[in-house]
Structure 1
Amino acid sequence: MPSRTTGTDSPLTAAGSPPRTRIRPVITACLLAVFLAMLDSQIVATALPRIVGDLGGLDVFAWVTTAYIIAASVTTPVYGKLGDLFGRKKIFLIAVALFLAGSALSGAAQSMDQLILFRTVQGIGAGGLFVSVLAIIGELFNPREAARYFNLFGIVFALAALAGPAVGGALTDLLSWHWVFLINLPVGVVILVLVSTCLHLPRADRPARIDYTGFLLLSASIVALTLAASWGGVKYEWLDWRILALGAAAVLLAVAFVAAERRAAEPVIPLHLFRDSTFSVSVLVSVAAGIVFLGSVNFLAIYIQVVTGASPTMSGVVLLPMMFGLVASSVVSGVAITRTGRYKWYPVLSMAIGIAGALLLATMDTGTPRAVVIGYMLVFGVAAGLNMQVLTMAAQNTAPRDDIGAVHATVSFARQLGTTVGISLFASIFYNRLTEEITERTPAGALRGIDPDALNSTETLDRLTEPVRDAVEQSYAAALTPVFLTAVPVLLLGLLAALTMKNLPLRGEEHQGHGEENQGHEAVAEES
């Protein structure tokens, strides 16, 4: 554990060095919070078929996920700013409490409408978990020290992604689907206790002038964009008047938001941050990374299960090397950044290797050996890990301390927004191409009476004759090719943006940053 020294990047230091045993439980609580936030989406997805069978509501079950995503997306930038205004500890505890309340209510839901409502509450809490953790780490440690801890979050992300389906399936089969929500409660209580008793940060002394207009305009814009991205090409055609209206509303509300932020005393997203090229580049590259690396993972799972014939359990095993590459590159890059204090070339390498990985994945067909597929995914995983925490470090490094929460929230929001857009964009490309391929490749009437949405199920595929099954597998492989080819220009734009990033050193104990005149009075009061 790093020793603490004086300096305003480490707000605890003005009051004295915190005991080692107080830092460790805080880091543990932060890691648990990140694990819960990531795990939730994975285990709920696994339990959804059983939930629909119990509660009904097949026509609206997608809102169990959509409502959660919208709520989390809307509140992410809000939590960052509230942490700047009212203190990170208080806002983090509120976020955890809301997440646990939503989890408990979701576990007790008796109808699909209730579950959707309670998932919205859970999403409101989830929006503050990850961004609050990043801001707390940013306040506890200077950027050079924080780099050591950011590595751990990449590992936790990967563990949650890997464990999610298995945990969700086990809880659903052995207990009931209710426990995919209730499992959050004991872990959440541990987080609340550790943070309440062990985290002490300087109390915010800025006037709390809340930008209600900005909150409302940003929230409405995010909702409109998320709905347009989720429904476009799936529920409605992209040129359907509903999608066009949602898109226009998102743009107009975003323009109104920018105008409101220019006048706000305490804007949700301080526009002056974008004058810093490092921050702007971090946001742009985060969007590209969210679109490609997070938005395409679901389609890799489809390829493994449908085209290669792997079971759900085996598909998790096949994905392990990709997650290993992600964790390994994240840890190695983090260690190197901690030693050298330089970070520019890691997002550059991430985008460049990602382009190579996407091109390799685009070549996969029904004849590609599974070992080769694993190799391609390993390359893709390495690329994803190289930018996972680096962009947050870079943005924090040049940010004013008073805006550290808004900085973390904006970078996290950019990645989350990219993920939403990526999933929707790739889904539209995939399903439109899949329909064409199946129509061309399968004999007329061969799939009569079979739900097209069930073709990615091994049980359904096993009931087909060999020629028809081969045609379906070839159709899926062909439909996935344009998905990965579409990722290439997105990564190319990310690469061009990353190349413009300044190669500044991370501030360490010898570069204690902004506002040293505040050092004497920052420890006057601590959050209780």
Structure 2
Amino acid sequence: MSSPTTGSQHLETGAPLAPQTKIKTVMTACMLAIFLAMLDAQIIATALPRIVGDLGGLDVFAWVTTAYIITSSVTTPVYGKLGDLFGRKKVFVIAIVLFLIGSAASGAAQSMEQLIVFRVVQGLGAGGLFVSVLAIIGELFSPREGAKYFNLFGIVFAAAALAGPAIGGLLTDLLSWHWVFLINLPIGIVVLALIATSLHLPPKSRQSHIDYAGFGTLSLAIVSLTLLASWGGVKYDWISPQILGLGAAAVVLAVLFVAAERRAPEPVIPLHLFRDSTFTISVVVSLVAGVVFLGAVNFLALYVQVVTGASPTMSGVVLLPMMFGLVASSVVSGRVITQTGRYKWYPVLSMATGIGGALLFSTMDTGTPRAVVIAYMLLFGIAAGLNMQVLTMAAQNTAPRDDIGAVHATVSFSRQLGSTLGISVFAALFYNRLTEELGKRVPAGALHGVDHNALSSHEVLDRLAAPVRDAVERAYAAALTPVFLAAVPVLLVGLAVALRMRNLPLRSWDHHGGGDEAAREHPAAEH
């Protein structure tokens, strides 16, 4: 019988799980950690144009986000496996501390190069935040019981998404962009205190084997792939030795990674999980969602601030409808899934709606009314929210309990990897097209003495003559069109894959720690 303070059985033995664990306090800390991580992801979007204006480096501005996502992507599966081996609490605390150190350093950055380096440190911690929270929920509760906490997760995630752009704009306007990082510190300290005093999980007894070969080859493969996506067609020609070399390195390292995982006693990503079609589909659709829904936000902020002339604060307000759509669809879908235990059609609808949103974004130019832009963003936000919680729940539902951390880590990793690749590819498309458009639209010599990398700054734009500023705004709008068009084929792939997902009921553990065997064996699967 469950202890009232736990609300769950231990997944291995069926015994009450750590009676001293205070579920409400732990869930509060977990939700604050999610708020922390999501706030940081959204708050920087409206600050980036000001950061570029202050520090320069428009050609590398995407690396402020990309460097963060690369390191968080690489470390996500590692955190999941370390949590399986050494316990969630230790790993969670380490992740929070690293995240806070990186946040403090980023807030003190004095150059674009410093900021990118400090974002790497921040990303090293961020990789463990989402996966630790998801794994803790997965360890404390059965999939069916945990669905309500995933719903709460979605509400907090959405609340941070709603608050992020507006807070980022306000902090940037009223104080400085440095505070979009420094705001993490008080929240993180509260999370540390709550976790240290309230989370008590059973000790891990599994023999530990760190998969150094897997971690190393995976890290290098991701870096090679990201550099290829960022530099191809921009810094180097696609057929240049540098790009071809990076492509070859990524392929070789991927092959070596798979070979390492097959031999490793405790692989970073257990390959046997991919025998389950639900898990594989969840990973692929998460990758697509990361490419499109996370990769597009920074470019929407550029459109709102540069093309429509909105201030950072106002751009946060303009982005609110997109976040509201994300909130509504995430919360509603989570509640319905909790009641019905079925989830298939939400990622399908997410991909289909996203296609419509991306096509509408590609039509935006300097003459598009702001109200129309807001409507497009609302639709895109709805699409993003429909897949936010579903894929993790689906993957957990059919996965072995011993691999719960690796399951959450791999799904989160795929979304973050998609975000890394999406931002890199979109930035390459944007910057390459922007150079062409500025050359065609801006009169020769009109930007003499003006740093092209600082054109996203209102201070720089305000000093330009009206015709020149209009030409710059049109160039930005034209450069953003291929970014949104490129998202369409990616979403079509996601739609095709999501349609193959089986519609299985979420399972529940019995009183002896066993699962719902009917759900596990899939006899009631619907297609």
Q: TM-score, normalised by structure 1?
A: 0.87
Instruction: Report deviation, 1:104.
Output: 4.7
**CA RMSD of superposed structures (Å):** 3.3
Structure 2 match to 1:340: 340
Report the AA paired with residue 199 of structure 1: L
Q: Residue 499 of structure 1 aligns to which amino acid in structure 2?
A: L
| Residue 216 (structure 2) pairs with residue 227 (structure 1) | no
Partner of 2:15: 14
1:103-182 matched pairs, under 5 angstroms: 103-104=103-104, 118-164=118-164, 167=167, 180-182=180-182
Assess, with a 3 A threshold, how the Cα gap between structure 1 residues 362 and 170 changes in structure 2: closer, same or farther: closer
- Residues 129-278 of structure 1 correspond to what in structure 2 (within 5 A)? 129-164=129-164, 167=167, 180-278=180-278
The range that moved more, 58-67 or 443-452, is 58-67
In the alignment, structure 1 residue 451 sits paired with structure 2 residue 455: no
Which whole-Å CA distance do the structure 2 matches of 1:240 and 1:424 have between them?
18
- 72-81 or 32-41, which moves further after superposition? 32-41
Amino acid at match of 1:441: R
Q: Which residue of 1 aligns with 2:417?
A: 417
Q: CA deviation at 1:375?
A: 0.9
Alpha-carbon distance in 2 for matches of 1:117, 1:303: 26
Change (3 A) 1:295 1:66: closer
Between the aligned residues of both structures, percent identity stands at 76
Report the CA distance between 1:203 and its aligned residue: 1.8
Deviation at 1:444, TM superposition (A): 3.1
Hey, what does 1:317 align to over in structure 2?
A: 317
Shift of 1:405: 0.6
User: Which residue identity does 1:23 align to in structure 2?
Assistant: I
In structure 1, C-alpha distance between the alignment counterparts of 2:282 and 2:340, rounded to whole Å? 19
**CA displacement 1:380-434 (0-9 Å, x = unmatched):** 1100000011101111111101101111111111011111111111122222222
More deviation, 437-446/489-498: 437-446
- What is the CA–CA distance in structure 1 between the aligned matches of 2:238 and 2:286, rounded to whole Å? 25
SS in 2 for 1:36: helix
1:109 Cα shift? 7.0
Question: Partner of 2:216: helix, strand, or coil?
Answer: helix
- Distance change (3 Å), C-alpha of 1:25 and 1:43: same
Cα deviation per residue 1:501-525 (whole Å; 9 max; x = unaligned)?
A: 01001113569875799xxxxxxxx
Q: Which amino acid aligns with 2:435?
A: T
- C-alpha displacement of 1:271: 0.2
- Aligned residue identity for 2:77: P
- Map 1:329-368 → 2, pairs under 5 A: 329-368=329-368
Question: Could you tell which deviates more after superposition, 336-345 or 134-143?
Answer: 134-143
Match runs of 1:437-516 below 5 Å: 437-509=437-509
| Residue 45 to residue 233, structure 1, CA distance change in 2 (3 Å) | farther
In structure 2, how many angstroms separate the alpha carbons of the residues matched to 1:107 and 1:288? 31
CA contact (8 A) 1:142 1:512 kept: no
Residue 483 of structure 1 and its aligned partner are, at CA, apart by 1.6
Bigger drift between 366-375 and 411-420 goes to 366-375
For the residues of structure 2 that align with 1:301 and 1:51, how far apart are their CA atoms?
Answer: 13
8 Å Cα contact 1:8-1:515 kept in structure 2: no
Residue 52 of structure 2 contacts residue 453 of structure 2 at CA under 8 Å; is this kept in 1? no
Separation (CA, whole Å) in 1 of partners of 2:161 and 2:233: 27
Given the superposition, is the C-alpha separation of residues 171 and 203 from structure 1 closer, same or farther in structure 2, using an over 3 Å criterion? same
The code of the aligned residue for 2:146 comes to A
Q: Which amino acid aligns with 1:437?
A: E
- Cα 1:404/1:374, change in 2 over 3 Å: same
Tell me if the contact between 2:214 and 2:268 (Cα under 8 Å) persists in the aligned partners. Answer: yes
> Is the Cα–Cα contact under 8 Å of residues 144 and 341 in structure 1 kept in the other structure?
yes
Deviations 1:281-329 (A, max 9, x none): 0010011111111111122122222222222221111111111000100
Q: Secondary structure of the equivalent of 1:206?
A: coil
Unaligned runs of 5+ in 1: 518-528
Amino acid at match of 1:136: I
Cα distance, 1:120 vs structure 2: 3.5
1:394 partnered with 2:394: yes
Q: Distance in 1 between matches of 2:172 and 2:360?
A: 36
SS in 1 for 2:15: helix
1:513/1:253 CA distance change after superposition, 3 Å = farther
Closer/same/farther in 2, CA of residues 119 and 382 from structure 1, 3 Å limit: closer
Q: Where does residue 29 of structure 2 map in the other structure?
A: 29
How many Å separate the matches in 2 of 1:105 and 1:448? 35
The structure-2 alpha-carbon separation of the partners of 1:206 and 1:436, relative to structure 1 and needing over 3 Å to count, comes to same
Code of the residue aligned with 2:36 in structure 1: it is L
State how far apart, in whole Å, the 1-side matches of 2:229 and 2:279 are: 25
Contact 1:32 1:187 in 2 (8 A): yes
Query: Which amino acid in structure 2 is aligned with residue 435 of structure 1?
Result: T
- Aligned residue for 1:128, secondary structure, equals helix
| Offset, 1:54 | 9.6
The 10-residue stretch of structure 1 (38-47 or 228-237) with the greater mean CA deviation from structure 2: 38-47
Which amino acid in the other structure matches residue 280 of structure 2? S
> Would you say the 8 A contact 2:46–2:312 is kept in 1?
no
Contact 1:143 1:506 in 2 (8 A): yes
Cα distance in structure 2, aligned partners of 1:111 and 1:438: 26
Q: Which amino acid aligns with 1:408?
A: H
Evaluate the alpha carbon distance shift between residue 365 and residue 170 of structure 1 in structure 2; reply closer, same or farther with a 3 A threshold: closer
- Match of 1:127, SS state, is helix
- With 228-237 and 329-338 compared, the bigger mean Cα shift is at 228-237
Deviation string 1:246-282 (CA, Å, 9 cap, x unpaired) is 2221221111010111111111100000000000000
C-alpha separation between the residues in 2 aligned to 1:38 and 1:509?
A: 31
| Whole-angstrom distance in 1 between the partners of 2:428 and 2:63 | 18
Tell me the CA shift for residue 372 of structure 1.
Answer: 1.4
SS at match of 1:121: helix
**1:308 pairs with 2:308:** yes
Residues 159 and 99 of structure 1: is their aligned pair in 2 closer, same or farther, counting only changes over 3 Å? same
How has the CA–CA distance of structure 1 residues 469 and 103 changed in structure 2, closer, same or farther, with 3 Å as cutoff? closer
In the aligned structure 2, how far is the partner of 1:135 from the partner of 1:16? 15
Equivalent pair of 1:99/1:125 in contact (CA under 8 Å): yes
Cα shift at 1:57: 10
- Deviation of 1:481 (Å): 2.0
Per the TM alignment, residue 66 of structure 1 is displaced from its structure 2 partner at its CA by 4.9
Aligned residue in 2 for 1:403? 403
**Residue aligned with 1:14, SS:** coil
Deviation string 1:89-131 (CA, Å, 9 cap, x unpaired) is: 2211222233234445556778887766554433222211111
Cα gap change, 1:290 to 1:511, in 2 (>3 Å) = farther
Name the counterpart of 1:283.
Answer: 283
Task: Tell me the alpha carbon deviations over residues 462-494 of structure 1, each in whole angstroms, 9 at most, x when there is no partner.
Answer: 333343333333332222222211111100000
Change (3 A) 1:510 1:76: same
> Residue 76 of structure 1 aligns with which residue?
76
* Residue range with higher mean Cα deviation, 215-224 or 78-87: 215-224
**Alignment partners' CA distance in 2, 1:452 and 1:219:** 33
State how many pairs are aligned. 514
Deviation at 1:202, TM superposition (A): 2.1
| Residues 329 and 385, structure 1, Cα contact 8 Å, conserved in 2 | yes
**Residue type of the partner of 1:204?**
K
Q: Does the 8 A contact of 2:83 with 2:405 survive in 1?
A: yes
Which residue identity is paired with 1:394? A
Distance 1:116 1:436 in 2: 27
Per-residue deviation, residues 314-373 of structure 1 (Å, max 9, x unmatched):
111111111100010000000000000000000000001111111122222222221111
Alignment check: 8 A CA contact 2:46 2:316 kept:
no
CA distance in 1, matches of 2:469, 2:173: 29
